[in-house]
Amino acid sequence: MARVLVTEEIAEPGLDRLRRAGHTVQVALGLTPAQLEAEVAGASALIIRSATQVDASVLAAGRDLVVVGRAGIGLDNVDVGEATRRGVMVVNAPQSNIISAAEHTLALLLAQARNVPQAHSALIAGRWERSKWEGVELFGKVLGVVGLGRVGALVAQRAAAFGMHLLAYDPYISAERARQLGVELVSLDDVLAGADFLTIHLPKTAETAGLIDADRLARAKPGLRIVNTARGGIVDEKALAWAVSSGVVAGAALDVFSSEPCVESPLFDLPSVVVTPHLGASTREAQDKAGLTIAEQVELALAGDFVPFAVNIAAADVPEAVRPWLPLAEKLGRLWASLSSLTEELPAVVDVEFSGELADEDTRILTLAVQKGLFAVSSDEPVSFVNAPQMAAERGLSVRSVSGGAPAGYRNLVTIRGGAHSVAGTTFEDGLPRVVMVDEHDIELPFARWMLMIHNDDRIGMVAAVAGMVAEAGLNIVDLKLGRSGEGGTAMMALSFEQAVPPEVVAALAATPGIIDARALTDV
């Protein structure tokens, strides 16, 4: 049977499962990078947590690797792209800690409302301070939930049992799903204006970093209390410290920080702030679930069976004619989702159309790749070919595959249409995927890490106005493409840069006469 290398502490029941299946389990903790490369040689499976870095060198050394298993959710320490290129499956345990994370959110919510840690510290220091640490009830208060993914939904359900009223912001959740949860969907600004307590359950992305900033805090309901167990940096910590110290915000409870480990912060000096060192997943049950789940996934992968939590797909599972189109399909999904503004509601139906020779192929995996890209920009957990359809179902989204006719001017074309947005792309002879249409404007451009998409009136001077504003902001334009609407009257500009476009630049462009819309896109 196979040798399984385990480089971090995993719950023993999971390791026992692999042993019972006949595999040899080698536990080697605290390996240096060189030692890891030496030990992974000849191993069929590698099981890790968050500390082990599985980069291209490790994957090259592990020539016999069939699967890399991450006992937990995040995959920042695994080069998934390189693993996919080498045909190595990557699996994780995405549901292992959702209950623990939700319960820790409620623990912080209660601790903040009732000043539990502050009263405890005072009492063991010899001070009986009943009046000083008077709290507030949760009953009848409004809880604003920002992000209704798995953890956010569990928090909403549990908060309802306390008699709280629920507001939520999540542009990727359908109104029907919100009704099922007993939640009223509103804009982010309306959540902040109406909530007594605010809890964050979003992924950390370029769009969500600093989402709760000084401006939003200043406009929030007076006396707001904030809880963040999602990712550090979504709430601007300096702005939060100002808001709490000035009385704009009544208090906060944080489990995550923009830089970790965090042992110094202006928030630590504020008596109405409760903090914990990223304990959201730190329960015995969560660790046991992660160990058992990852052992099960590794066992299935080694047996060649269906693996529910695979986050990539082995090249052998993709039809030869379809394989080169996977990167394009996923990137188009990311682009379509990125074009949706924070205030737009997710449409009920998204159509993925395959035209040309692709229309005669089995393109189901490409439709999955579109969904994988679509939810990768909004999910607080890794998105795989397996869980993407489940995410679509949870959000009330139907993704339909459509076979089109001959694509004008292209051998093959992949088009996504849904709600107010549409994108299309193809792959040229150089093998690189390109966009050829955005929102019904013909525009040919390569994908880039930092982009600016501008929809404007089709008139003289618009390009010069945009170029002047980005130049004034100190941004160097790497590429600039122009496209016009087939119906006339409007045009599209796509610019790529060497760095992210600051939000204030985007806002200034959007407010410029003649510009209909301006969007900054990252990693599309």
The helix/strand/coil state of 471 is helix
pLDDT at 206: 77
Comparing CA positions, the residue from 510, 515, 522 lying closest to residue 491 is: 515
In the CATH scheme, what is the code of domain 3-93+285-317?
Answer: 3.40.50.720
Give 35's pLDDT tier (boundaries 50, 70, 90): very high
CA 269 to CA 194: how far, in whole Å?
28
| pLDDT at position 140 over 80 | yes
Cβ 467 vs Cβ 476: under 8 Å: no
Before 117, cis peptide (omega within 30)? no
Cβ 192 vs Cβ 221: under 8 Å: yes
Which region, left, alpha or beta, applies to residue 184 given φ > 0 means left and ψ of -120 to 50 means alpha? beta
User: What fold, for 98-275?
Assistant: Rossmann fold (3.40.50)
Q: Which residues contact 330 (CB under 8 A, 6 or more apart)?
A: 369, 370, 372, 373, 376
pLDDT at 314: 53
% of the chain residues with pLDDT over 90 = 66
Comparing CA positions, the residue from 167, 145, 140 lying closest to residue 155 is: 145
CA 479 to CA 484: how far, in whole Å?
17
The helix/strand/coil state of 356 is strand
| pLDDT at position 316 over 50 | no
Helix (H) or strand (E) segment spanning residue 112: helix 98-114
pLDDT at 36: 97
DSSP assignments along 242-292, one per residue: HHHHTTSEEEEEES--SSSS----GGGG-TTEEE-SS-TT-SHHHHHHHHH
- Which residues are marked as active site? 231, 260, 278
pTM of the model: 0.69
Structure tokens that stand for 257 in this block: 């920080």
CA 14 to CA 190: how far, in whole Å?
45
- Span 237-250, average pLDDT: 96
pLDDT at 317: 57
Q: Which residues contact 19 (CB under 8 A, 6 or more apart)?
A: 25
| pLDDT at position 261 over 90 | no
**Residue position matching structure tokens 């945009």:** 466
Comparing CA positions, the residue from 413, 414, 483 lying closest to residue 445 is: 483
In the CATH scheme, what is the code of domain 325-522?
Answer: 3.30.1330.90
Give the dihedral of Cα atoms 327, 328, 334, 337; nearest 10 deg: -150
Q: Residue 264 phi/psi, 5° resolution?
A: -140, 135
CA 491 to CA 484: how far, in whole Å?
4
Chain mean position to CA 76: 12
Fold match between domain 3-93+285-317 and domain 98-275: yes
Q: What is the mean pLDDT of the chain?
A: 90
Q: Residue 231 phi/psi, 5° resolution?
A: -145, 140
| Residue type, position 483, single letter | G
Looking at the chain, how many residues does it have?
Answer: 524
Give the dihedral of Cα atoms 268, 273, 276, 277; nearest 10 deg: -40
Output the CA–CA distances (angstroms, integers) from residue 241 to 248, 254, 524, in the order listed.
10, 12, 33
- Span 79-108, average pLDDT: 90
Identity of the highest mean pLDDT range in 179-183, 194-198, 385-389:
194-198
- Span 53-68, average pLDDT: 95
DSSP state of 105: H
Output the CA–CA distances (angstroms, integers) from residue 172 to 69, 167, 202, 391, in the order listed.
29, 15, 11, 10
pLDDT at 315: 42
Q: Where are the alpha helices (DSSP H) in 96-200?
A: 98-114, 116-124, 150-161, 175-181, 188-194
Comparing CA positions, the residue from 229, 207, 519 lying closest to residue 377 is: 207
CA 287 to CA 290: how far, in whole Å?
5
Give 81's pLDDT tier (boundaries 50, 70, 90): confident
Domain definitions of the chain by residue range: 3-93+285-317, 98-275, 325-522
CA 453 to CA 481: how far, in whole Å?
10
Lowest mean pLDDT across 205-219, 384-398, 461-475: 384-398
HEC states along 310-325?
A: ECCCCHHHCCCCCHHH
